Structure 1
C-alpha cells in the first residue's frame, strides 16, 4: 500500500506539470488557431533563464520567480504574437506548423548560444529536497505540493475564465469569427495577445517546476521534449476542454509512474516504455477521438508551384550529375563524404516533396523512417566481417521494403487524420521510435536467437557493394547517391504529370471534392504514404552508410523537424527544393558554423567576432523558417521566377555563366580558394536576376514595367513622360501634398487627365 501511495503521489505531481503546460497550449490554440510546437522550447528557455537568475547570478528565489514568470514569460508570448503569430491567421496548416517548428529550433539554438550544452546545471526543489510533510505514511515534499496546487488553480481558473467571464468567452470567439467579435466591441488582436502572454507564462512555469522533479539537470533538448509530452494531455481535451485536458494529464502522469512501479523488473524495456508512454497515448488519442467532417479548402493557400516537363527534368538531372562531379574535383576526401551526407538528406527530403508538396499530407518524422531501414539492413544485409564487411543489395531492398510496410501500417490508422492531427500523429511515431526502439541497446532472446535492436547505442553500416560497384570509394559513393537522387527526382516529376499525380493534387486542394468525383482517398493516402516512406528509408540508409556509424541522435525528431523546415523554406513542391533543403539540413549550416569556428582559431584577435557570427549562423535557419509565411512557395520559386524573366537577357545570362566558369577554373588550378569559389557562385546565382533588371530592364521586365519602375524626372513630365495617375501621385508625394485633395477635386483631375 505504501508503494502504491508513493507512486501515486509522484504520478499526480508529474501529471500536474503536464496539466500546466497543456493548459497553455489549449489557451493559445483557442484564441489563434495555431498549435504552438515551440511550447516546450518556451518552457526550456524559461527554465534556463530562471536558473541564470537564481543560481548563476545568486538572486533570491522570489525575485528570480517574479522576473521569469512576471517579465520573461509574458514578454516572450507577447513578442511571439505581435511579431509572428498575428499575421498567420489565414495561412495554410503546413505554414503554421513550420513557423512554430522554426521558433522551437531557434530557441534551442539560442539556449546553446548563451548556455553551453556541455556545462552541468542543476536546480533544487523549492524549500529544498528535505522540506516535506507526511500523508498516510508517505513523504510529500513542498515542491510537489506546490505543483499539484498550482495545477488545480490553473485548471479551475481557466475553466471559470472561459465559461463565466466576458473576456474568456470573447477569447473563445477570436478564432471562430473575429469580425463579429469586433462588432461587439472587442479587439481580437488584444485578446489573442493576452492569451499568448498567459500561455507563455504557463509554459515557463511548467519548465521551472518539472526540472527538479526530473532530476534537476538542465539539458535543452531533453527538457523541450519532456514538455512536448504535454501535447498528449492537450489532445485529451481536443485542444478545447480544460477539464478533460487536466484529466488526461493526470492519467499520463499516473500511468508513467505505475509502469515503473508494477512492471516486472526483468523487462529491460520498462524504462523506455515509461518515457514513450505519452507519445503512445498521443497516437491512440488522435486515432480514437472523432475527427472533423471532410471539407473542402476553407482557405485558398498562396503556394504556387510550377511543375516542369519530364524532358526538362531529365536535362536538369544530367546537369546536376555533371555539376556535382565538377565540384568533387575541387574537394578533399572529408569534404566528399560531407557532400554525400548532404545528398542523402536530399533523398529523404524528396519523400516530403511527394507526400506534402504533391499530396498535401504531413509527416514530421521523415528521418525516423530512415532509422527503420538502417536497423533492418544492419541486422540482415551485411556480408563479411571486419574490414571486408559490406552492405549487400539484399539489405538495401529489404530495408526499403520494411520501411514502406511500416509507413503503410502507420498510415492505416492515421488515414482519417488531416492537417494538425496527422502532423502530431507522425511526430508521436518519431518520438516513440527515438525513445523506445533506438534506446533498446540490451540483448533479447527470441526462439533461441539473441539480438538487440540498436546494438550498444551505436551501429556501423559498411558501404554498399554490388558486383563491380563499390561505394567504399568516396567518389563512387557520392556520384551514386547523386544519380539516385536525380533519377528519383525525374520519377517524381513524371508521377506528378501523370493521372495519379493529378489525383494527388486534387486531394491536396479539396479532399471533399476529390471524394465526390469518385476518388478513393484511402487508396491515395495509403499509396503515397508507402512510397514516401520507402524513399525516406532509402535516403536514411545512404546517410548511415556515408556517416559510417550512427547513434540514436542521428535520427532524433529535431533532425526531422529541421529537415522539414528547410525543405518548406526552399520550396516543398519542387525537387530542387528537396535538394536545397537536404543539403542545408545535412551539411550546409554545419559547414558554415565550422568555418566560423576555424576562423576564430586562426585569427585570435577576431575570435569574438567569428564566434558571434557562428552563433548567428546557428540561429539563422530558424529565422529563415519564421519568414516562410511571407513566401509560402519557397525561395526556389523566387529564383525560378527570376530566371524566367531573365531568359530574354541572354548577355546577362552569358556573363553570369562566364563568372562561374572562370572562378571554377581558378579554383581548379589552385589560384582561388574553394571558399571564395563557393561564395562567388552562390552570389552569382541569386543576384543574376537582380543584375538583369538593372542592366537590361526592358528585356527582363518589359517596356511598360521598366517605364513604371524608372525614377521620375519631373522636368520631363508632359514632354516625354506621360502624365498619368501614377505620375500625379508620385509628384504629390515628392511635394508632400499627398492626400490633400478632396475626393471631388481628385475626380475632377482624373476627368481632365483622361480627356
Structure 2
C-alpha cells in the first residue's frame, strides 16, 4: 500500500506539471490556430534562464520567479507572436508547423550556445529538498505541493477565462472569425498576442517545476522533449477543453509512475516503456477520439508550385548527374564522402515531396522509416565480417519493402487523421521507435533464434556491393546515390503528371470534393504513405552505409524536424527543393560547423570568434526556417521564376556559362581552391537572375532597330507612331489633310 501511495502522489505531481504545460498549448491553439511545437523549447530556455539568475547571479528564488516567469516568459511569447506568428495567416498547416519547429530548433541551438552543454546545470526544489511533510506514511515535499496547487489553480483560472470572461471570448474569436471580431471593435492580433504571452508563461513555469522532479539536471534537448510529452495531455481535450486536458495530464503522470512501480525492472524494457508511454498514449488518443468532418471546400493558401514535365525533369536529372561527377573531380576523398551523405539525405527528402508536397499529408518522422530499413538491412543483408563485410542487394530490397509495410501499418490507423492530428501521429510513431526500438540492446529469443535489435546501442552498416559495383569507393557511392536520386525524381515527376498524381492533388486541395467524385481516399492515403516510406527507407539505408556506424541519435526526432524544415524552406513541392533541402541537412550546416571547429582548434587566439560563428550557423539555419511564413513556396520557387524570366537574356546566360567553365578549369588545375570555386559559383548562380533583370531592363530602354520592330517585342501605339515618323508617313498625312481642307 505504501508503494501504491508513493507512486500515486509522484504521478499526480508529474501530471500536474504536464497539465500546466498542456494548458499553455491549449491556450495558444484556441486563440491563434497555431499548434506551438516550440512549447517545450520555450520551457527549456526559461528554465535555463532561471538557473542562470539563481545559481550564477545568486538571486533569491522569489525574485527569480518574478523576473523569469512573470516578465521573461510573457515577453518571449509576445515577441514570438509579433515577429513571426502573426504572419502565418493564410498559410498551409505544414508551413505553420515548420515555423514553430524552426523556433524550437533555434531556441535549442541558442541555449547550447549560451550555456555550455558539457557543464553541469542543476535546479533545486523550492524551499529545499528537506522541506517536506508526511501524508499516510508517504513523504511529500513542499515543491510537489506547489506543483499540485499551481496546476489546479491554473486549470480553474483558464476555465473561467474561456467561459466566463469577455477577454476569453475575444481570444477564441480571434481565430474563429477575426473579421467579425474587428467589426465589433476588437483587435484579434492583440488578443492573440495576449494568449501567446500567457502560453509562454505557463511553459516556463512548467519547465521550472518539472526539472527538480525529474532529477534536477538541465539538458537542452532532454528538457525540450520532456515538455513535449505534454502534447498527449493536450490531445485528451482535443486542444479545446481545459478540464479534459487536466484529466488527461493526470492519467499520463499516473501511468508513467505505475509502469516504474509494477513492471519488472530487469533489462531496458521498463525504462524504455516509461519514456515512450506519452507518445503511445498520444497516438492512441489521436486514433480513438472523433475527428472533424471532411472540409467541404478547398482552403486557399499562399503556397504555389509548378509541376515539371517529365521530359524537363529527365533533362535536369541528367544535368545533375553530370554536374555532380564534374564537381566530384575537384573534391578530396573526405569531401566526396560528405557529399555522398548529403545525397542520401536528399533521397529521404524526396519522400517528403511526394507525401507533403504532392498529397498534402504530413510526416514529422521521415528518419524513423530510414531507421526501420537500416535495422532490417543490418540483420538480413550483411555478408562477411570486419573490413570484408558488405551489404547485399537482397537486404536493401527487403529493407525498402519493410519500410513500406511499416509505413502502411502506421498510416492504417491514422488514415482518418488530417493536418495537425496526422503530424502529431507520425511524431508519436517516430518517438516511440526511437525510445523503444533503437534503445533495445537486450537479447531476444524467438523461434529458437537469439538476436538483438541494436547491439551495444549502435549498428555497423557496411557499403553495398552488387557484382562489380562496390560502394566502398567514395566516388562510386556518390554517383550511385546521385543516379538513384535522379531516377526517383523523374519517376515522381511522371507520377505527379499522371492520373494518380492528379488524384493526389485533388485530395490535397479538397478531400470532400475528391471523395464526392468517387475517389477512394483510404486507398489513396495508404498508397502514398507506403511510397513515401519506401523512398525514406532506401535513403536511410544509404545514409547509414555512408555514415558507417549509426546509433539512436542518427534517427532522432530533432533530426527529422530539421530535415523537414529545410525542405519546406527550399520548397517542398519541388523536386529541386528536396535536393537543396537534403544537401543542406546532410552537408551544409555540418560542414560549416566542423570547419569553424577546426579553425578554432588551429587558431587559439581566434577560437572564441570561430566557435561563435559555428553556433551562429546553426541559429541562422533556424532563423531561415522562421521566415518561411513570408515565402511559403520556398526560395527555389523564386530562383526558378528568376531564371524563367531570363529566357530573353541569352547573352547573360552564355556569359555565365563561359565564366563557370573558366572557373572549373582553374579549380581543376589547382589555380584556385575548391572552396573558392564553390563560393564563386554559388554567388554567381544566386546573382544571375538579378543581372539578367538589369540587362532586360536596360534593353527595353534602348530604341529597337526598325528592321526588328514587331519581332522582338509586340506592336504598341508608341512603336506605330515611331514607325510613322521614321517612314515620313506623319508628314505626308499632314500635307494630305491640308490639301483636303483647302
TM-score, L = length of structure 1: 0.92
Q: 1:698 offset after TM fit, Å? A: 5.5
Match of 1:212 in 2: 212
Q: Secondary structure at the match of 2:676?
A: helix
Q: Distance in 2 between matches of 1:460 and 1:224?
A: 29
Within a 5 Å distance, the mapping from 1:732-743 to structure 2 comes to none
In structure 1, stretches of 5+ residues that fail to align are: 705-718, 723-755
Question: Any conservation in 2 of the 1:664–1:677 contact (CA below 8 Å)?
Answer: yes
- Residues 570 and 636, structure 2, Cα contact 8 Å, conserved in 1: yes
Give the SS at the match of 1:140. strand
2:345 alignment counterpart: 345
Partner of 1:550: 550
* Match runs of 1:283-362 below 5 Å: 283-362=283-362
Return the offset for 1:297.
4.3
Cα gap change, 1:226/1:697 in structure 2, threshold over 3 Å: closer, same or farther?
same
Contact map agreement 1:460 1:550 (CA 8 A) in 2: yes
- The match for 1:42 is 42
| In structure 1, distance between residues paired with 2:419 and 2:80 | 22
1:670 is the counterpart of 2:661: no
1:483 aligned residue: 483
CA displacement 1:182-219 (0-9 Å, x = unmatched):
23332211111111100000000001111111111111
CA-to-partner distance for each residue in 1:10-37, whole Å, 9 max, x for gaps? 1001101100000000000010000000
Q: 1:620 to 1:297 in 2, by over 3 A?
A: farther
How far did residue 583 of structure 1 move?
Answer: 0.3
How far apart are the structure 2 equivalents of 1:447 and 1:519?
43
Structure 2: how far apart are the matches of 1:53 and 1:278?
A: 32
- Residue in 2 that maps onto 1:696: 696
Aligned partners of 1:298 and 1:167: how far apart in 2?
32
Q: Which moved more, 1:62-71 or 1:695-704?
A: 695-704
Q: Which residue of 1 is the match for residue 630 of structure 2?
A: 630
Contact 2:87 2:630 in 1 (8 A): no
Q: Distance in 1 between matches of 2:22 and 2:575?
A: 37
| Partners of 1:599 and 1:610 within 8 A in 2 | yes
Q: Could you give the per-residue CA deviations for residues 589-616 of structure 1, whole angstroms, max 9, x where no partner exists?
A: 1111222233344444444433332222
Any conservation in 1 of the 2:458–2:550 contact (CA below 8 Å)? yes
| Cα distance per residue 1:539-562 (max 9 Å; x no partner) | 000000000000100000000000
What does residue 158 of structure 1 align with?
Answer: 158
Counterpart Cα distance in 2 of 1:627 and 1:447: 54
Deviation of 1:62 after TM superposition, in Å, equals 1.4
Matched, 1:62 2:77: no
The SS at the match of 2:595 is: helix
Query: Does residue 1:374 correspond to 2:374, yes or no?
Result: yes
Q: Give the conservation status (yes or no) of the 8 Å contact 2:299–2:510.
A: no
Residues 648 and 700, structure 1, Cα contact 8 Å, conserved in 2: no
> Is the contact made by 1:660 and 1:680 (CA closer than 8 Å) also made in structure 2?
no
Structure-2 residue corresponding to 1:117: 117
Whether the aligned pair in 2 keeps the contact of 1:33 and 1:89 (CA below 8 Å) is no
Secondary structure (helix, strand or coil) at the match of 1:550 reads strand
For structure 2, the 5+ residue unaligned runs are 705-717, 722-742
Shift of 1:103: 0.5
Equivalent position of 1:576 in the other structure:
576
Shift of 1:109: 0.8
CA contact (8 A) 2:440 2:454 kept: yes
Conserved 8 A contact 1:464-1:472:
yes
CA distance in 2, matches of 1:34, 1:376: 37
Q: Report what 1:365 is aligned to.
A: 365
Match of 1:652 in 2: 652
SS at match of 1:445: strand
Q: Residue in 2 aligned with 1:586?
A: 586
1:604-623 equivalent positions in 2, closer than 5 A: 604-623=604-623
Given that residues 647 and 700 in structure 1 are in contact (C-alpha distance below 8 angstroms), is that contact kept between their aligned partners in structure 2? no
The alpha carbon displacement at 1:160 in A equals 1.1
| 3-state SS in 1 of match to 2:633 | coil
1:701, 1:513 → 2: CA distance?
49
Looking at structure 2, the residues matched to 700 and 255 of structure 1 have their Cα atoms a distance apart, in angstroms, of 72
Aligned residue in 1 for 2:709: none
Equivalent position of 1:105 in the other structure: 105
Corresponding residue pairs, total: 707
1:750: which partner in 2? Answer: none
For 2:413, what is the secondary structure of its paired residue? helix
Deviation sequence 1:707-735 (CA, Å, 0-9, x none): xxxxxxxxxxxx99x9xxxxxxxxxxxxx
Instruction: Give the Cα–Cα distance (whole angstroms) in 1 for the partners of residues 181 and 701 of structure 2.
Output: 44
| 1:460-609 aligned within 5 A | 460-609=460-609
2:420 counterpart residue number? 420
Q: Is the 8 A contact 2:648 2:696 kept in 1?
A: no
Question: What is the alpha-carbon distance in structure 2 between the residues aligned to residue 101 and residue 230 of structure 1?
Answer: 16
Distance 1:119 1:650, change over 3 A: same
In the alignment, the residues of structure 2 paired with residue 629 and residue 155 of structure 1 have an alpha-carbon distance, to the nearest angstrom, of: 32
Q: Tell me the residue number matched to 2:6.
A: 6
Q: Call closer, same or farther: CA 1:608–1:703 in 2, change over 3 Å.
A: farther
Counterpart CA distance in 2 for 1:383 and 1:595 is 36
Aligned equivalents of 2:368, 2:221: Cα separation in 1: 17
Give a deviation string over 1:315-373, Cα, whole Å, max 9, x none: 11111111111111111111111111100000000000000001110000001100000
Tell me the alpha carbon deviations over residues 482-531 of structure 1, each in whole angstroms, 9 at most, x when there is no partner: 10000000000011111111111111111111111111111110000001
What CA distance in whole angstroms lies between the structure 2 residues aligned with 1:507 and 1:376? 33
Q: Secondary structure at the match of 2:459?
A: strand
User: Which residue in the other structure is 1:194 paired with?
Assistant: 194
CA deviations on 1:280-303 (whole Å, 9 max, x unpaired) are 010011111111111144531122
CA positional deviation for 1:170: 1.8
Return 664-673 or 564-573, whichever deviates more: 664-673
Residue correspondence of structure 1 range 24-39 to structure 2 within 5 A: 24-39=24-39
Match of 2:453 in 1: 453
**CA spacing shift, 1:702–1:588, aligned 2, 3 Å:** farther
Query: Cα distance, 1:701 vs. partner?
Result: 11
Q: Residue 693 of structure 1 contacts residue 701 of structure 1 at CA under 8 Å; is this kept in 2?
A: no
2: distance between equivalents of 1:462 and 1:140? 53
Q: How far, CA to CA, are the matches of 2:264 and 2:465 in structure 1?
A: 44
Q: Does 1:239 align with 2:242?
A: no
TM-score (norm 2): 0.93
Q: Which stretch of structure 1 is more off in the superposition, 484-493 or 670-679? A: 670-679
Distance 2:98 2:62 in 1: 37
Are the aligned partners of 1:567 and 1:581 in contact in 2 as well (CA < 8 Å)?
A: yes
- 1:738 corresponds in structure 2 to none
CA RMSD of aligned residues (A): 1.7
8 Å contact kept, 1:495–1:501:
yes
- How far is the alpha carbon of 1:697 from its aligned partner? 1.7
2:91 touches 2:629 (CA, 8 Å); kept in 1?
Answer: yes
Alpha-carbon distance in structure 2 between the residues aligned to 1:698 and 1:411:
55
Residue equivalent to 1:19 = 19
Q: What SS does structure 2 have at the residue aligned with 1:647?
A: helix
Q: Deviations over 1:85-138 (max 9, x none)?
A: 112122211110010011001101101110111111111111111211000000
Q: Which residue of 1 aligns with 2:262?
A: 262
Q: 1:703 to 1:142 in 2, by over 3 A?
A: farther
| 8 A contact 2:400–2:534 mirrored in 1 | yes
Structure 1 range deviating more: 77-86 or 656-665: 656-665
Is this contact kept in 1: 2:298–2:509, CA < 8 A?
no
Q: Alpha-carbon deviations, 1:368-418, whole Å to 9, x = none?
A: 100000001111111111221111111101111011000001001111100
* Inter-partner Cα distance in structure 2 for 1:117 and 1:265: 30
Equivalent residue number for residue 730 of structure 2: none
Deviation for aligned residue 1:267: 5.8
| 8 Å contact from structure 1 (residues 648, 699) kept in 2 | no
Separation of aligned partners in 2, 1:168 and 1:305 = 39
Q: Distance in 2 between matches of 1:180 and 1:480?
A: 57
Taking the aligned partners of 1:297 and 1:125, their CA distance within structure 2 comes to 52
